Amino acid sequence: MSEDIKVDSLLDCKGQVCPEPIIHANIAIKKINVGEILLMESTDPGATNDMHSWSKRTGHQILKEESEGQVLRFYVRRMK
Amino acid sequence: MAEERKKRLAIIASKGTLDFAYPPLILVTTAISMDMEAGIFFTFYGLDIINKHKFNSLKVSPLANPAMPVSIPNIIGAIPGMTSMATMMMKSWMDKAHMATIPKLLDMAREGGVRLIGCQTTMNVMGIKREDLIDGVEIGGAATFLDYAMDADVSLFV
């Protein structure tokens, strides 16, 4: 886990495949306040490209990403 | 940002097999998650996707389909029962891959405000009535789709 980023909400998308991780990320980001951080975890290898495209189109900012084994982690700040 | 027109996805769904039902529904549910608006115009066999008697039991055909993960020769695929067998196989693979079901994607689309439009002309051709369609769909013709698609940023025919 990260030392420097304070996570406000955790979204477990492990085991899910397209389109569910993106759908759930978009629902989860609306449940936190602007400026807060969502940590999204996924095991879908397509999630890296998908999360970046989603971030680009919605404006929510991916602050950091990391992987541990098959698990990908995205730290996303709600921007609007 | 709020005043800006949303990007729009307009899709025609013309096929009613399980494998052709997924792309439109995956794309619209993702589109609404990416701040787009989206609509699907269901025509011909595509109407099965929003037919309340059929949407839950769409099938995969093994006939003339060499791309099945387990290849089924046409002469075997033509035997009665092979379509339901191929469908069962496909559904179990999808289940193992944790793929969302068609009813679930339809629910997500409707909850997210996707416009689902049944083609009135092909409903007449195929004897499908308004009450055969799932709740939350509207009825229209080519002009309805074109009016919607004219302002679309992405337009697809499936």
**Structural domain boundaries of chain A?**
9-77
d(CA B104, CA B156) in angstroms, rounded, equals 22
Compute the distance between CA of residue B50 and CA of residue B74 in angstroms, rounded to an integer: 29
Contact residues of A toward B, CB < 8 A: 15-20, 22-23, 25-27, 53-54, 57-59, 80
**Residue carrying structure tokens 């909400």:** A9
pLDDT band at A3 (very low <50, low <70, confident <90, very high): low
- Give the residue numbers of A marked as catalytic: 18
- For chain B, percent of residues with pLDDT exceeding 90: 80
Q: In CATH, what class is A9-77?
A: alpha beta
Tell me which residue has tokens 């900012």.
A61
For residues B51 and B132, is the Cβ–Cβ distance under 8 A?
Answer: yes
Which whole number is the average pLDDT over B126-131? 95
More confident residue, B40 or B66: B40
Mutation site for A-interface testing, chosen from B4, B22, B27, B30 by largest number of A Cβ within 10 Å: B30
Mean pLDDT of B121-127: 95
Confidence at residue A4, expressed as pLDDT on a 0 to 100 scale = 81
Give pLDDT, residue B62. 87
Domains, chain B, ordered by start: 8-157 (3.40.1260.10)
Q: Please list every residue in chain A whose beta carbon sits closer than 8 Å to the beta carbon of residue B99.
A: 17
Q: pLDDT (tens digit, 9 = 90+) per residue, A37-68?
A: 999 999 999 999 999 999 999 999 999 999 99
Chain B residues touching A80 at Cβ < 8 A: 1
Residues facing A72 on adjacent strands: A42, A67
- Give me the percent of chain B exceeding a pLDDT of 70: 98
Res B2: pLDDT? 54
β A37-42/B8-13 pair status: unpaired
pLDDT tens digit string along B12-48? 999 999 999 999 999 999 999 999 999 999 999 999 9
Q: What is the ipTM of this complex?
A: 0.86
Is there a contact between B98 and B124 (Cβ–Cβ < 8 Å)?
Answer: no
| Vertex A39 angle, CA A56 and A33, to 5° | 75
Which residues, other chains included, contact B80 with Cβ-Cβ below 8 Å and sequence gap of 6+?
A: none
Q: Do residues A76 and A62 touch, judged by C-beta distance below 8 A?
A: yes
B74: confidence class by pLDDT, cuts 50, 70, 90: confident
Residue B38, chain A, CB below 8 Å: the answer is no
Give residue B75's pLDDT: 87
Q: Which amino acid is at B14?
A: S
Chain A CB within 8 Å of residue B96 CB: no
> What pLDDT is stored for residue B65 in this prediction?
84
Q: How confident is the model at residue B129 (pLDDT cuts 50, 70, 90)?
A: very high
Mean pLDDT calculated for residue range A1-15: 87
d(CA B35, CA B33): 6
Q: Categorize the per-residue pLDDT at B3 as very low, low, confident or very high, splitting at 50, 70 and 90.
A: low
Q: Which residues on chain B are in Cβ contact (under 8 Å) with A23?
A: 29-30, 33, 108
Residue of chain B minimizing CA distance to A30:
B33
d(C-alpha B151, C-alpha B148), whole Å: 6
For chain B, the average pLDDT equals 93
Is the CB of B99 inside 8 Å of chain A's CB atoms? yes
* Residue B156 banded pLDDT, cuts 50, 70, 90: very high
For A78, the 3-state DSSP assignment is coil
Q: Which of A29-38, B36-45, B63-72, B81-90 has the lowest mean pLDDT?
A: B63-72
Q: Is the pLDDT of residue B77 over 90?
A: no
